[in-house]
Amino acid sequence: MQLSRRLRFDRRRSICIALGLWALFFGRGAPTVDAAATSARDETAPRGEDDGAEVTFDAPAKPHASTGAAVKASTEVSGYTDSDAVHVLSPTVAGSVGDSVAGWSVGGSYLVDAVTAASVDIVSTASAHWEEKRHVGAASADFKAGGTAVSLAGGFSREPDYLSIGGGGVLSWELMDKNFMPFLGGSYGHDLVGRHGDPQNTWPVMNKVSVKGGATFVVDSSTIASLSVDGVFERGYLAKPYRYLPIVAPGVSAQLPAGASVDLVRSLNEFSVSENVPRRRDRFAFSGRLAHRWDGATFRGDERFYWDSWGLMASTTDVHVYVDLGRRFVVWPHLRGHAQRGVDFWQRVFEEVPASMGSAPGIPVYRAGDRELGPLYTLTGGFGLRALLGGDVHNPISVSFQADLIYTRYLDALYITRRRALFGALSFEAGFE
């Protein structure tokens, strides 16, 4: 998704800290690539996450009188490429209008993913490379009355063989002189998962309900923290419709080590079957965030622990340090680490189930070949730069650039054992009052 980072900081223990660093925690941000995040088609590249913080260089020392509604417009072009021959180009446009004094804002965005892939998963099925576009639209509205705020959002994602529609909201409160801000939210998503050429009315359905609760609290005049708990409950078709798994004879899997070539797998493959996973998955995460401001620099650290009903467990640590270079420039190094164990029914290779008396050989009921469901770890490192080009305190114009190198190590998967990737984004943003 698009780059957009927000932090409005004041050294005083005041509304500037409470609301400005609130934006740091819950505003959209500089994307990082999660190696485990994939689209409906298993060949699609990992996508960016809204996961950063924006530093404005011109936060006023004291509040100014509102001049009415403020308009913001931005555009971004991001790109992804990896060693598995997957390439993604994603242009984005976004805009919003709102009045912070009156307590309202509305906004929207539109993104196109242009994907070209010739990954090992495609080659293993004797398919040629493919090209595809994904269209994503989103809209949001925020309202505030006194110490209560409501945020609503909805959107859609459309591919030739996938349709996703969803929406939700978050309710938050300012308590204890705006030093403690609990929040509660939820969303619903309805997805149709199909194949090229199949009528849309035959596509399987996946429904998703998400709930989230937590709180942000001011630790001291320079520090703010946040804790949250998420639950995501998925029901319906959760497999990859294009994923086919090689099945080998009993006892043969030992001849196919991690990273075994396509040719070796084909030589031992008895037959292939489609992926099959449970039709329900309950996901849970506990997340924490800590931000601290020094003179000229801001630290932000995130930690997330994840587990689900399929047996996958993971930990993700993400660190940014935003350094002011005068009033017009901010740079930030970025480090991220992710590690996970695979789902309970993960196997590198699936063997035929030996026949019992009077029955034919079979195959395991649940089987997954998506390497992102297996054991792995990912390391990400990069940097970003934001420059204020012009405008004044009320009408800033800025440009941002971010680049990340991503290394993923698959501990028990066929075909590839590691992937190297590069993610970059260039964005332009302007504000008007």
Mean pLDDT, each 10-residue run in order, the chain (433 residues)? 30 31 35 31 32 31 56 96 95 95 95 92 73 95 95 96 96 95 98 89 95 96 96 96 89 92 92 92 98 96 98 98 94 98 93 67 84 96 94 80 98 95 97 84
Give the pLDDT of residue 338: 98
Domain membership flag for residue 6: no
Q: Are 380 and 406 in contact (CB under 8 A)?
A: yes
CA 76 distance to own-chain centroid: 17
Give the pLDDT of residue 172: 97
Q: 3-class SS at 212?
A: strand
152 inside domain? yes
Q: How far is CA 232 from CA 189, 208, 211, in A?
A: 10, 7, 7
The token pair at 112 is 């196109």
HSE of 291, CA atoms in CB hemisphere, 13 A: 30
The two tokens of residue 89 are: 């180009």
pLDDT of residue 357: 54
pLDDT of 122: 79
SS3 category, 32? strand
330 within some domain: yes
Residues 34 and 45 sit within 8 Å (Cβ to Cβ): no
The total domain count for the chain is 1
Separation between Cα atoms, residue 90 and residue 47, nearest integer Å = 10
Q: Residue 266, Cα to own-chain centre: how many angstroms?
A: 34
Residues 355, 364: Cα–Cα separation, whole Å: 12
Contact 178, 22 (CB under 8 A): no
Quick check: is 173 in a domain? yes
pLDDT at 173: 97
DSSP string, 366-420: SBB--GGGSSEEEEEEEEEEEEEEE--SSS-EEEEEEEEEEEEEESS-SS-SEEE
| Domain CATH number, residue 93 | 2.40.160
Handedness of CA 29, 30, 32, 38 (dihedral sign): positive
Q: Which SS3 state, helix, strand or coil, does residue 312 take? A: coil
pTM: 0.83
Domain presence at residue 244:
no
Query: What is the C-alpha separation between 170 and 185, in angstroms, rounded?
Result: 4
pLDDT of residue 330: 96
Rounded to 5°, angle at Cα 188 from 184 and 191? 155
Query: Is 358 inside a domain boundary?
Result: no
Q: Write down the pLDDT at residue 100.
A: 86
Name the token pair of 185: 């939210």
SS3 (DSSP) at 229: strand
Contact between residue 247 and residue 315 where contact means Cβ atoms under 8 Å apart: no
**Structure-token pair, residue 314:** 């993971």
Residue 251 belongs to a domain: no
pLDDT (0 to 100) of residue 130: 79
d(CA 211, CA 233): 9
Closest by Cα among 286, 276, 258 to 349: 258
84: containing domain: 15-231+281-340+370-432
Query: How far is 236 from 233, CA to CA, in rounded Å?
Result: 10
Identify whether 167 is part of a domain: yes
Determine contact, residues 191/164, Cβ cutoff 8 Å.
Answer: yes
How far apart CA 159 and CA 242 sit, in angstroms, is 14
- Rounded to an integer, what distance in angstroms lies between the CA atom of residue 431 and that of residue 433? 7
Cα first-last separation, the chain: 26
Segment (H or E) for 426: strand 418-432
Q: What angle do CA 183, 98, 396 make, to 5 degrees?
A: 110
